A = this chain, B = another copy of it.
Amino acid sequence: MEHECGTSPDKRDERLALLIWYRFSRIYNQSVRESEQHLKTWDMTVAQFDVIAQIGLNKRLTQGQLAEKLLVTKGNITQLLSRLEQAGLIRREQDWKVKHVSLTDKGKALYEQVVPMQERFQASHFDALDREEKEQFLHLLKKLSARTTE
Chain A residues at the B interface, C-beta cutoff of 8 Å: 1, 9, 13-21, 23-32, 71, 119-120, 122-129, 131, 133-138, 140-148
Contact = CB atoms under 8 A, between A and B. Distances in A.
In the A-B complex, the 8 residue pairs with the closest CB atoms: A17-B123, A128-B147, A17-B126, A14-B123, A23-B141, A21-B122, A28-B28, A16-B134
B125 A129 contact: no
Nearest to A124: B17
Chain A contact residues: helix, strand, loop or mixed: helix
A9 B131 CA distance: 9
B24 A25 contact: no
B128 A133 contact: no
A29 B134 contact: no
